[in-house]
Chain A
Amino acid sequence: MNRDHVRILLPVMSLVILLGAVFYMQPRAMSYFGLNLLFNLAVPVALATIAQMMILMVNDIDLSIGAFVSFCACVTATFVQSDPVVGYAILLAAILLYAAMGAVIHARGLPAIVVTLGMSFFWAGMAILILPSPGGAAPGWLRVMMTAKTPFLPVAIIAPIIIALTMHYFVKRSALGVLLRGVGGNEQAMERSGWSVMVLKAIAYGIAGLFCVLAGMALVGLTTSADANIALRYTLLSIAGVILGGGEFTGGRVSPIGAVIGALTLTLAASFLSFLHLSPDWQIGAQGAILILVLAVRLVFTRREALV
């Protein structure tokens, strides 16, 4: 059991405790439909969290994820639905632009936080241009996929598991994932060994872009329509999700499984309150409180680790 395992323990425990509390208060949630209801909106959040994780992994931060996911949702609800070829071309171009952004940030030594902040205006503008007022429609296959009645476990559970395992394999096991984490761990060592950090960062950003696109599509599949502000909360949620899942801001220490669990925990926290019969006013607050609580507990853990 190494430090990575310890790190994943905390998010798993917080999810289990929260889930236990929900089941205790509302035993009916312990069913196929109950689970689907609880975690329905977790799929796009989990995808966006993975995107944020890719950026944090290379020691940057992305403040444009919310705007970008909204943009992707708008494209999905309009072009992809009505004119698939154009729609996919736009999404592909957007992913390439994301990768280019990563390359430029590294090559010119720009602060990622400000560049992505500027890009968030850009994406928000593009989203408004594409879909000036709420509307659009989900492509049929997407709607079917997101609302499919899968046997045993609902989509809302299966999808996060698939996302977590795929990304775990890619980030933690594949030969490319190691290089990306290496950029976060010791950029100099990477350059010394002849790797182009610029290319690696572009790859990380490109993958992040891809997952934002997936998040936007999943969101439209669930809500059947889009608007330009549909996912603005995702910027903050995705950062919180990664951190909740045991990831760290610097040093390439991230965990895809943890990030997905973090996203689930945040989604569940919102549902939890309605079961508590607490006013929905506190939904956002509860997410903040859970984040602080987990970080506080983690501090206790790391302190003990340091003493050993």
Chain B
Amino acid sequence: MGVNRKLIGTGEVPIITLTDIGVSFGTVKALTGIELKIMPGECVGVVGHNGAGKSTLVNVINGRLSPTGGDVSYNGEVSKADFRNAQRARNAGIRSVFQELSLCPNLTVLENLRIPYRKMPLRNWRGKAALAVRKSLDAIFPGNRIDPYRVVDDLPIAERQMVEIAIAFSRRDMDARLVILDEPTSSLDGAIADQLLGYIRRFCAEGGSIIFVSHMLGEIFDVATRIVVMKDGRIIANDDARNFTRASLVTAMGQVVPDAAEVTEAKKKQVFGAEVIRMENGLNARKGEIVGLAGLAGHGQAEALARCFLEQSPDWRASRAPAVVFVAGDRSRDGVMPLWSIMRNLTLQTLVEFSRNFLVDRKAEGRLAKEWHRKIGIKTDNLENPILSLSGGNQQKVLFARALASSAPIVVMDDPMRGVDVGTKKEVYRMIRDEAEKGRTFLWYSTETDEILECDRVFVFRDGKISAELNGDEITEENMLRASFEMQETSQ
């Protein structure tokens, strides 16, 4: 529409232009007023804390998510943003590498190229695909020894991520012009990550564009020509990378330390009891202590928590005095019973504790639910309403109540504040602190820095192992980031 087609790809026409984009899920605004233009040859680094809207932005760009307001235009062609955007994005040469792996584990490496390559020439396609993957792998990660004929399931996680990146950059009928990399180095070790960064620079020099989402500010400064800072669903800074320093970037992202004075005061008062947990990997906790598990997502924290819980809760009988209870963060996967009422969800863990025989003691159940309804402030006028009628934050409160109502001395929390608003967070922090003072032990995995700062002691995970143990004043965002990326930083 009014665009000279010859200019596409010459550096004159932006690959993608976002105009006043807004995305809302129900009443929650995930993105507001986003303006972004990406020209060929640019490497745009996107930074921001968790929940700032980075993934939503990425999904709008690759067309998986239809914005609720504003316009997306690919190659300068203005179009109404709708469900066809995914196809338009593909035709514009936009490809993505997601954090969660999107390969088919039952297929071989070369077969996985077939999935995104829609118009693959069918004559001898296996040979050609093997060649294309091989070529792409060699271009990005020289010296790798990945066999394109191997089944993806058999590859270690780092190699799977390399394959996924290589497939995104591979040559097809429509070449890659804008590749979105969302935390691409999270499973790669330092040397491999450096190879990737080097390739990104070459790719941009040849006229390709990259959107690079990362928590690693070092990597961002390494490759980005422009940096976009996001906060609360808005772009709050968008400037040439040279105009940022590490410090100014951190300031722009916004400090997330809540009431530092209050926290430290609470911490000072703590005197801990005897050690109540010690696991093989060195994770330990004392009575009355809040222990944080930090590090990038998917580096073994969730597994450590699950092991801690499963080892101490029998699979064959329920105990009236359980040793440990669990608060889920991935509510639909690990926590909520979608068919049940709020009350039933709340009392699941404690059924055996308050009932005297094999029948459910309805009176005791009602009392318990009512008590926690008041205590934790679940926003409902009737506990018989279905759990799914509650907002995410309130569902989370129910899960907290389910665990805290138990008499168990240890509470394991798997990133329990996902999708919880700030007010609720504050309340829950206070409750956790109170319970800890009464002698409960908390194991708390979180991807959000401000929650980890609430902890008395922090274990930072990397590649399934503990890479650092931080005490008291050592618990800072910088120390955590350093431990999360240790090997990469040292190799640079």
**A–B touching in complex (CB under 8 Å):** yes
Contact B103 A189 (CB under 8 A): yes
Question: Of A24-32, A84-92, A174-182, which stretch is located at the interface?
Answer: A174-182
Q: CB of B318 within 8 A of chain A?
A: no
Instruction: State whether A194 and B107 are in contact (beta carbons under 8 Å apart), knowing that A2-B154, A175-B114, A186-B102 are contacts in the complex.
Output: no
Contact B106 A192 (CB under 8 A): no
Q: Give the residues in chain A near B86, CB-CB below 8 Å.
A: 192, 194
Q: Give the residues in chain A near B90, CB-CB below 8 Å.
A: 194
List, sorted by A's number, 17 A–B pairs whose CB atoms are closer than 8 Å. Answer: A2-B108, A2-B149, A3-B151, A175-B125, A182-B107, A185-B105, A185-B107, A188-B102, A189-B103, A189-B115, A190-B104, A190-B115, A194-B86, A194-B87, A194-B90, A251-B106, A253-B106
Contact B125 A182 (CB under 8 A): no
Kindly report which residue of chain A lies nearest to residue B111, judged by CB atoms.
A178
Contact B151 A182 (CB under 8 A): no
Q: Give the residues in chain A near B108, CB-CB below 8 Å.
A: 2
Q: CB of A173 within 8 A of chain B?
A: yes
Q: CB of B427 within 8 A of chain A?
A: no
Cα(A305)–Cα(B331), bound, Å: 32
Kindly report which residue of chain A lies nearest to residue B89, judged by CB atoms.
A194
Shortest Cβ distance from residue B447 to the other chain A in the assembled complex, whole angstroms: 22
Q: CB of A154 within 8 A of chain B?
A: no
The size bracket of the interface on B is 20 to 34
Cα(A182)–Cα(B104), bound, Å: 6
Cα(A181)–Cα(B152), bound, Å: 13
Contact A3 B154 (CB under 8 A): yes
The size bracket of the interface on A is 20 to 34
Q: CB of A279 within 8 A of chain B?
A: no
Q: What is the 8 Å Cβ interface bit string for chain B, positions 95-133, against chain A (1 contact, 0 not)?
A: 000000011111110010011101010100110000000
Contact B118 A194 (CB under 8 A): yes
Q: Is the interface of A mostly helix, strand, loop or mixed?
A: helix
Q: CB of A262 within 8 A of chain B?
A: no
Q: CB of A184 within 8 A of chain B?
A: yes
Q: Give the residues in chain B near A253, CB-CB below 8 Å.
A: 106
Contact B115 A193 (CB under 8 A): yes
Q: CB of B465 within 8 A of chain A?
A: no
Q: Give the residues in chain B near A252, CB-CB below 8 Å.
A: 104, 106-107
Contact A2 B115 (CB under 8 A): no
Shortest Cβ distance from residue B207 to the other chain A in the assembled complex, whole angstroms: 24
Shortest Cβ distance from residue B26 to the other chain A in the assembled complex, whole angstroms: 22
Cα(A160)–Cα(B176), bound, Å: 45
Cα(A193)–Cα(B168), bound, Å: 11
Q: CB of B215 within 8 A of chain A?
A: no
Kindly report which residue of chain A lies nearest to residue B152, judged by CB atoms.
A185
Contact A181 B106 (CB under 8 A): yes
Contact B151 A186 (CB under 8 A): no
Shortest Cβ distance from residue A141 to the other chain B in the assembled complex, whole angstroms: 33
Q: Give the residues in chain A near B64, CB-CB below 8 Å.
A: 192
Cα(A175)–Cα(B117), bound, Å: 11
Contact B122 A178 (CB under 8 A): no
Contact A192 B102 (CB under 8 A): yes
Q: CB of B153 within 8 A of chain A?
A: yes
Contact A251 B107 (CB under 8 A): no
Contact A182 B115 (CB under 8 A): yes
Interface residues of B in 143-168 (CB under 8 A from A): 149-151, 153-154
Shortest Cβ distance from residue A186 to the other chain B in the assembled complex, whole angstroms: 4
Contact B150 A2 (CB under 8 A): yes
Q: Give the residues in chain B near A181, CB-CB below 8 Å.
A: 104, 106-107, 111
Kindly report which residue of chain A lies nearest to residue B120, judged by CB atoms.
A175
Contacts A2-B150, A194-B90 aside, 17 further interface pairs with beta carbons under 8 A come to A3-B151, A173-B126, A175-B120, A175-B125, A179-B114, A181-B107, A182-B107, A185-B105, A185-B106, A189-B102, A189-B103, A189-B104, A192-B86, A192-B102, A194-B86, A194-B118, A195-B118
Q: Give the residues in chain B near A188, CB-CB below 8 Å.
A: 102
Most chain A C-beta atoms within 10 Å of own C-beta, residue among B64, B104, B108: B104
Shortest Cβ distance from residue B67 to the other chain A in the assembled complex, whole angstroms: 18
Q: Give the residues in chain B near A178, CB-CB below 8 Å.
A: 107, 111, 114-115
Instruction: State whether A186 and B114 are in contact (beta carbons under 8 Å apart), knowing that A4-B151, A173-B126 are contacts in the complex.
Output: no
Cα(A2)–Cα(B107), bound, Å: 11
Interface residues of A in 1-34 (CB under 8 A from B): 2-4
Interface residues of A in 182-209 (CB under 8 A from B): 182, 184-186, 188-190, 192-195
Interface residues of A in 68-95 (CB under 8 A from B): none
Kindly report which residue of chain B lies nearest to residue A185, judged by CB atoms.
B104
Q: Give the residues in chain A near B115, CB-CB below 8 Å.
A: 178-179, 182, 189-190, 193, 195
Instruction: State whether A186 and B116 are in contact (beta carbons under 8 Å apart), knowing that A4-B151, A178-B111 are contacts in the complex.
Output: no
Q: What is the 8 Å Cβ interface bit string for chain B, positions 355-380, against chain A (1 contact, 0 not)?
A: 00000000000000000000000000
Shortest Cβ distance from residue B103 to the other chain A in the assembled complex, whole angstroms: 7
Most chain B C-beta atoms within 10 Å of own C-beta, residue among A4, A185, A190: A185
Most chain A C-beta atoms within 10 Å of own C-beta, residue among B106, B107, B150: B106
Contact B87 A3 (CB under 8 A): no
Contact B104 A193 (CB under 8 A): no
Kindly report which residue of chain A lies nearest to residue B64, judged by CB atoms.
A192
Q: Give the residues in chain B near A173, CB-CB below 8 Å.
A: 126
Contact A184 B114 (CB under 8 A): no
**Residue in A3, A175, A189 whose CB lies within 8 Å of B122:** A175
Q: What is the 8 Å Cβ interface bit string for chain B, positions 177-193, against chain A (1 contact, 0 not)?
A: 00000000000000000
Q: Give the residues in chain B near A186, CB-CB below 8 Å.
A: 102-105
Cα(A181)–Cα(B153), bound, Å: 14
A-B pairs with lowest CB-CB distance, top 3: A185-B104, A185-B106, A186-B104
Q: Give the residues in chain A near B102, CB-CB below 8 Å.
A: 186, 188-189, 192
Shortest Cβ distance from residue B46 to the other chain A in the assembled complex, whole angstroms: 20
Q: Give the residues in chain A near B151, CB-CB below 8 Å.
A: 2-4
Kindly report which residue of chain B lies nearest to residue A177, judged by CB atoms.
B111
Shortest Cβ distance from residue A109 to the other chain B in the assembled complex, whole angstroms: 15
Kindly report which residue of chain B lies nearest to residue A183, judged by CB atoms.
B104
Q: Give the residues in chain A near B114, CB-CB below 8 Å.
A: 175, 178-179, 182
Cα(A2)–Cα(B154), bound, Å: 8
Kindly report which residue of chain A lies nearest to residue B95, judged by CB atoms.
A193
Cα(A181)–Cα(B151), bound, Å: 13
Q: Give the residues in chain A near B104, CB-CB below 8 Å.
A: 181-182, 185-186, 189-190, 252
Interface residues of A in 33-56 (CB under 8 A from B): none
Q: Give the residues in chain A near B122, CB-CB below 8 Å.
A: 175
Kindly report which residue of chain B lies nearest to residue A253, judged by CB atoms.
B106
Q: Give the residues in chain B near A175, CB-CB below 8 Å.
A: 114, 120, 122, 125
Kindly report which residue of chain B lies nearest to residue A193, judged by CB atoms.
B116
Q: What is the 8 Å Cβ interface bit string for chain A, positions 192-231, against chain B (1 contact, 0 not)?
A: 1111000000000000000000000000000000000000
Shortest Cβ distance from residue A194 to the other chain B in the assembled complex, whole angstroms: 6
Shortest Cβ distance from residue A44 to the other chain B in the assembled complex, whole angstroms: 28
Kindly report which residue of chain A lies nearest to residue B100, judged by CB atoms.
A188
Kindly report which residue of chain B lies nearest to residue A248, judged by CB atoms.
B106
Contact A251 B118 (CB under 8 A): no
Contact A251 B105 (CB under 8 A): yes
Q: Give the residues in chain A near B125, CB-CB below 8 Å.
A: 175
Q: Give the residues in chain B near A4, CB-CB below 8 Å.
A: 151
Q: Give the residues in chain A near B107, CB-CB below 8 Å.
A: 178, 181-182, 185, 252
Q: Give the residues in chain B near A2, CB-CB below 8 Å.
A: 108, 149-151, 154
Cα(A41)–Cα(B2), bound, Å: 68
Interface residues of B in 180-212 (CB under 8 A from A): none
